[in-house]
């Protein structure tokens, strides 16, 4: 969708870039010229994706990091700046989720998800934001949202609450950092094929297919459709767009709100 070379000379950090939607975002950014830096907990998964991006002619590196670990996040991002001289873009994509009734949820279960989604996004965004401000501004951040953050979901209150926090963080920092030329937006996907969310949340026989009847366009999203929206919002073509939430769910949430 974007002209080739749109991200030439740029460095983009993608959390959870070793699988699912994050992996596809990384592939798109690399194909558009960015050096992509992937963060995730599993070194093997990172190695595999980095190798395959390089084989396709892209520039990529992977760093094992749990986004809940502030010290590790800061150390990794400092190493990225040392190695490449800059960070221009951040995609807060890493997330954890599982279905559990709110009255059954343990404190640790709540914390696991909230600390990955909300705290992890904060750690990465504040660290990258400080770098961008120190270098004189510019740059952009996209965080991945979820429709339950907008409308609620009884089975994933931890995730919905954390993602609602990410949306509020995005709007708040868009105001605070607009004067530095830093833009922040959210992309909110509907259910997307070949992702951890589907295997984690729609594992029951027939559950994923049954969801189709609720989607006006009659199909689930594919990962490329989400990645294209993310690359657009990160790019200079979206230079006047900040603090927004782009919902890409085939119309699923229309009529709910």
Ligand X SMILES: NC(=O)C1=CN([C@@H]2O[C@H](COP(=O)(O)OP(=O)(O)OC[C@H]3O[C@@H](n4cnc5c(N)ncnc54)[C@H](OP(=O)(O)O)[C@@H]3O)[C@@H](O)[C@H]2O)C=CC1
Ligand Y SMILES: CCCCCCC/C=C/C(=O)SCCNC(=O)CCNC(=O)[C@H](O)C(C)(C)COP(=O)(O)OP(=O)(O)OC[C@H]1O[C@@H](n2cnc3c(N)ncnc32)[C@H](O)[C@@H]1OP(=O)(O)O
Return residues touching ligand X (CB under 6 A).
15-16, 18-22, 39-42, 45, 66-68, 93-96, 116, 120, 144, 146, 189, 191-192, 195-198
CB 141 within 8 Å of CB 182: yes
Residue (160 or 182) nearer to ligand Y, CB: 160
d(CA 117, CA 151): 18
d(CA 58, CA 52): 9
DSSP string, 170-186: HHHHHHHHGGGT-EEEE
Is position 146 an interface residue for ligand Y (rule: CB under 6 A)? yes
170 interface partner picked from ligand X, ligand Y, none, CB below 5 to 8 A per type: none
Q: How far is the CB of 53 from ligand Y (least distance, A)?
A: 21
Tokens of 227: 């990645």
Strand 183-189, strand 245-248: pairing: parallel
Is position 192 an interface residue for ligand Y (rule: CB under 6 A)? no
Phi, psi of 11 (to 5 degrees): -120, 125
The stretches of 32-69 forming alpha helices (DSSP H) are 43-55
Query: Among 15, 93, 143, 147, which residue interacts with ligand Y (rule: CB under 6 A)?
Result: 147
Query: Among 64, 109, 133, 241, which residue interacts with ligand Y (rule: CB under 6 A)?
Result: 109
24 interface partner picked from ligand X, ligand Y, none, CB below 5 to 8 A per type: none
- Contact residues toward ligand Y (CB under 6 A) are 95-98, 100, 106, 108-109, 112-113, 146-148, 159, 190-191, 196-197, 200-201
């Amino acid at each position: 969708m974007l002209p080739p070379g749109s991200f030439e000379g740029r460095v983009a950090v993608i959390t959870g870039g070793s699988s699912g939607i994050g992996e596809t975002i990384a592939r798109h950014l690399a194909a558009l010229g960015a050096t992509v830096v992937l963060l995730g907990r599993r070194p093997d998964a990172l190695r595999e994706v980095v190798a395959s991006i390089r084989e396709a002619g892209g520039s990529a590196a992977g760093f094992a990091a749990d986004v809940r670990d502030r010290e590790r996040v800061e150390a990794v991002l400092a190493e990225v700046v040392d190695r490449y001289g800059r960070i221009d873009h951040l995609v807060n994509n890493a997330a954890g989720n599982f279905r559990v009734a709110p009255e059954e949820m343990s404190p640790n279960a709540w914390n696991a998800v909230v600390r990955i989604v909300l705290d992890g996004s904060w750690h990465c965004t504040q660290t990258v934001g400080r770098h961008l401000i120190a270098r004189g501004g510019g740059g952009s951040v996209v965080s991945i949202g979820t429709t339950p953050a907008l409308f609620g979901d009884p089975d994933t209150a931890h995730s919905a609450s954390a993602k609602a926090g990410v949306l509020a963080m995005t709007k708040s920092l868009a105001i605070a950092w607009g004067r530095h030329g830093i833009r922040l937006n959210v992309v909110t996907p509907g259910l997307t094929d070949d992702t951890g969310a589907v295997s984690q949340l729609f594992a029951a026989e027939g559950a994923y297919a049954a969801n189709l009847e609720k989607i006006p366009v009659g199909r689930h999203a594919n990962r490329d459709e989400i990645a294209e929206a993310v690359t657009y919002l990160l790019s200079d073509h979206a230079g006047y767009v900040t603090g927004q939430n782009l919902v890409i769910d085939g119309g699923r949430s229309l009529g709910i709100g």
